Amino acid sequence: MLKLKNLAWLALLLPGIVQAQVSEFELENGLKLIVKEDHRAPVVVSQVWYKVGSSYEYNGITGISHVLEHMMFKGTENLEPNEFSQIIARNGGEQNAFTGRDYTAYFQKLHKDRLEVSFKHEADRMRNLVIEPAELLKERDVVAEERRMRTEDNPQSLLREHFNAAAFMSSPYHHPIIGWMSDIQHYEAEDLKAWYQMWYAPNNATVVVAGDVEPKAVLDLAKKYFGPLEPETVAELKPRVEVPQKGLREIKVKAPAELPYLMMGWKVPTVTTITEDNSWEPYALEVLAGVLDGGNSARFARELVREQQVATSVGAGNSLFSRLKDLFLVAGTPANGKSVDDLQAAVREQIERLKQTPVTAEELDRVKAQVVAETVYEKDSVFYQAMQIGMLETIGLDWMVGEQYVDNIKAVTAEQVQAVARKYFVDDSLTIAELVPLPLDGRRPVSNAGDAHVR
DSSP 279: T
Rounded CA separation 46/66 (Å): 20
Output 66 or 249, the one with its CB closest to another protein.
66
CA angle 210, 213, 216 (to 5 degrees): 110
Residues from 361 through 420 that contact another protein (CB under 8 A):
362, 365-366, 369-374, 376-377, 379-382
3-state secondary structure of 26: strand
What count of Cα atoms within 13 Å lies in the side-chain half-sphere of residue 455? 8
| Window 313-332: residues binding another protein (CB under 8 A) | 315-318, 329, 331
Helix (H) or strand (E) holding 368: helix 361-377
Q: What is the DSSP string of 298-362?
A: SHIIIIIIIIS--EEEEEEE---S-SS-EEEEEEEEEPTT--HHHHHHHHHHHHHHHHHSPPPHH
CA distance 50 to 62: 17
**What is the closest distance, in whole angstroms, from the C-beta atom of residue 424 to another protein in the complex?**
17
Question: Per-residue x/- mask for another protein, residues 11 to 40, rule CB under 8 A?
Answer: -xx---x----------------------x
Helices (H), 129-228: 133-147, 155-167, 181-184, 189-199, 215-225
Task: Rule CB under 8 A: say whether 308 interacts with another protein.
Answer: no
Question: Which residues within the stretch 134-173 sit at the binding site for another protein (CB under 8 A)?
Answer: 137-146, 148-150, 152-155
Instruction: Please give the positions annotated as active site.
Output: 69
- With contacts defined by CB under 8 A, how many residues of the chain interact with another protein? 109
Stretch that binds another protein, among 63-71, 191-199, 347-355, 400-408 (CB under 8 A): 63-71
CB of 229 to another protein, least distance (A): 23
Encoded one letter per residue, x for contact with another protein by CB under 8 A and - for no contact, window 174-213 reads ---xx-----------------------------------
- Can you tell me which of 224, 302, 353, 422 binds another protein, judged by CB under 8 A? 302
Nearest Cα neighbor of 78 from 114, 131, 132, 125 is 125
Q: Interface residues for another protein in 71-130 (CB under 8 A)?
A: 73, 81-82, 85-86, 89-94, 96-101, 109-112, 114
Dist CA 345 CA 356 (whole Å): 16
Q: Shortest approach of another protein to residue 246 CB, angstroms?
A: 27
Collapsing DSSP states into helix, strand and coil, what is residue 107?
Answer: strand
447 touches another protein (CB under 8 A): yes
Judged by CB under 8 A, the chain residues 334 through 353 that form the site for another protein are: 335-336
User: Applying CB under 8 A, does 228 fall inside the site for another protein?
Assistant: no
